[in-house]
Amino acid sequence: MDADASLSPADGRTGKNKMAPASLEGQTLGKYRVLEQLGRGGMAQVYRGYHPQLDRYVAIKVLRPDVAEDEEFIARFGREARAVAALRHPNIVQVFDFDVQDDVPFMVMELLEGDTLKTRLADYRARGEHMPPGEAVRILLDVLDGLAYAHSEGMIHRDLKPANILLTRRGQAVIADFGIAQIVGGTRYTMSGALLGTLNYMAPEQGMEGRSDARSDIYSLGIVFYEMLTQRTPFDADTPLAILMKHLNDPLPLPRQVNPAIPEPFERVMLKALAKRPDERYQSALEMAQALREAAVTAGVELPARISLPLTFATAEAPSESVAVLSGTAREHITDAGFAADDTQETASQRAAGESGKEQLVSALGALGQAVAGKTASALNEAAAAIQGQSPPSAAGEAEGKPRHRVLPIVAAILLIPIVNLAMVWWGSITGNWDIFGRGWPVEVFLVGILLATIMAATSSIWLLIPAGIVVGNGLILAYCSITGLWGHWLCLWPLEPLLIGGTIWASIVLARTPERARRLARVLGQGLVVFAVFWGAITGLIAAVL
Alpha carbon distance 130, 229 (integer Å): 6
Backbone angles phi, psi at 437, to 5 degrees: -80, -35
pLDDT band at 316 (very low <50, low <70, confident <90, very high): very low
Predicted confidence at residue 5, as pLDDT, reads 33
pLDDT band at 356 (very low <50, low <70, confident <90, very high): very low
Predicted confidence at residue 475, as pLDDT, reads 84
Domain 115-313 has CATH 1.10.510.10: yes
Give yes or no: 159 in active site.
yes
pTM of the model: 0.54
Structural contact between residues 285 and 147, judged by C-beta atoms closer than 8 angstroms: yes
The DSSP H or E segment spanning 101 is strand 95-101
Residue of 159, 177, 342, 343 marked catalytic: 159
At the top level of CATH, the class of 9-112+326-337 is alpha beta
* 201-237 pLDDT tens trace: 989 888 777 788 899 999 999 999 999 999 999 998 8
* 321-345 pLDDT tens trace: 333 334 344 444 444 444 444 443 3
* 357-407 pLDDT tens trace: 444 444 444 444 444 344 334 444 444 444 444 444 333 333 333 444 567
Taking residues 278-283, what's their average pLDDT? Answer: 94
Alpha carbon distance 276, 311 (integer Å): 34
Predicted confidence at residue 395, as pLDDT, reads 37
Query: How far is the CA of 480 from the CAs of 345, 442, 496, in angstroms?
Result: 54, 9, 14
Residue 274 has pLDDT above 90, yes or no: yes
* 19-78 pLDDT tens trace: 445 678 878 888 889 988 877 655 677 888 998 888 888 888 887 666 666 667 667 777
Report the length, in residues, of the chain. 547
Q: 181: helix, coil or strand? A: coil
Domain boundaries in the chain?
A: 9-112+326-337, 115-313, 357-546
Predicted confidence at residue 405, as pLDDT, reads 53
Predicted confidence at residue 512, as pLDDT, reads 80
Structural contact between residues 108 and 119, judged by C-beta atoms closer than 8 angstroms: no
Residue 355 has pLDDT above 50, yes or no: no
